[in-house]
Amino acid sequence: MITVWSCTKENQVAQQVQNEGLLPTDLNVNALIKNFKQKVAHYRKNPSLKSGESLPADSALWYMEATINYSHGFPNELYEEFHTDTLTITIEKNSDGDVDLVELTQKYDQMKSDVALVYNASTYTEKGLTLVDLTEVSETDNELILYVKSTTGKINPDTTTKNNFIGNCELTAIRKCFKC
């Protein structure tokens, strides 16, 4: 628990923040990603559902990149070497120029599956997903084309750090199967 004091001439106010040291911005980003993950899970279970919910193209890119790195990335491990692979994903846009969440769910799952295939094909015995970087290649009225760069790192077991931020999955399960 962190206690923050705000001093004014009139009074002194103590604000308790129970966020394990996270800044308000970090908490907001965390909430955005978790909310997106819930929506993806909902649309994954109900693929024929047409809610009409959509996002601007730049937000779709941000959510895809932030969510896969939040859920599966281990950038703080100590790696000996790296292997990078690239993929391209094309996302259709609706008549308003936005990306429907049903389409975004399918493309997120496709990206996650493609990254997992590349990751699992890596010859490293001990490894971690270091980073997935998405870049917009082009955008038209009808589609958004993304370049996906996936980096896998070779872990030196003698210098492995303990990652305390692994969500609901065990570290080895995340590294091996991408099922979280």
Residue type, 16: Q
Contacts of 166 (CB under 8 A, 6+ apart): 174
pTM for this structure? 0.75
If 0-12 CB within 10 Å is exposed, 13-18 middle and 19+ buried, where does residue 105 land? Answer: buried
Q: Do residues 125 and 146 lie in contact, with contact meaning Cβ atoms separated by under 8 Å? A: no
Token pair of 17 as six digits: 């923040």
**Which residue is listed with tokens 């890119």?**
61
Q: What stretches in the chain show pLDDT beneath 70? A: 1-20, 159-180
Measured over the CA atoms of residue 108, residue 109, residue 115 and residue 116, the dihedral's sign is positive
**Residue 42 to residue 83: CA distance in whole angstroms:** 33
**Residue 12 to residue 17: CA distance in whole angstroms:** 16
Domain ranges of the chain: 55-177
The class (CATH top level) of 55-177 is: alpha beta
Q: Is 93 helix (H, G, I), strand (E, B) or coil?
A: coil
Q: Is 154 helix (H, G, I), strand (E, B) or coil?
A: strand
**Residue 159 to residue 162: CA distance in whole angstroms:** 10
What is the pLDDT at residue 68? Answer: 95
Token pair of 103 as six digits: 């389409």
Q: Do residues 122 and 152 lie in contact, with contact meaning Cβ atoms separated by under 8 Å? A: yes
Token pair of 126 as six digits: 């001990």
Q: Do residues 57 and 145 lie in contact, with contact meaning Cβ atoms separated by under 8 Å? A: no
